Amino acid sequence: MIENRVFADILIEGMDDWVPIDQLIWAAKEEVEGGPWRNYFAELLVFLLENDLIQIGELAESGFSPWIGEPARILQLVTEDLESLSWDPRLGSRAWISNTGTGNDLARTLITS
């Protein structure tokens, strides 16, 4: 079970703006404390998607454009994008995080707890 504290900052930040995917990478790296983090990143991303807390997509002229598909497909798209950047999203990852309504609701409870 993934604890809320792992992704709390992402959801709280996501209440006001879209969040770059590197924030999720950072959360995964912090949680495994120097250990292998990519599998945990995948587990964390799928958890957030399956629990309808976030959407993954890209920024377009009209705003956020979510990627459509099951969590496994979204994970595949994110992984392919990050692998093309050698897992350094500062080089221009297309993947961004947007909270869902459920994600915003949880974020509000995380702020007060």
| pTM, two decimal places | 0.93
For residues 40-45, give the mean pLDDT: 97
- CA pair distance 35, 29, nearest whole angstrom: 8
Angle in degrees, CA 24, 111, 54, rounded to 5: 35
For residues 53-68, give the mean pLDDT: 94
For residues 5-27, give the mean pLDDT: 95
Q: Which residues contact 109 (CB under 8 A, 6 or more apart)?
A: none
pLDDT in tens, 95-106: 999 999 999 999
The answer to whether 26 touches 113, Cβ cutoff 8 Å, is no
In DSSP terms, 59 is beta-bridged to 64
Whole-number pLDDT of residue 26 = 94
Beta pairing class for 96-99 and 54-60: antiparallel
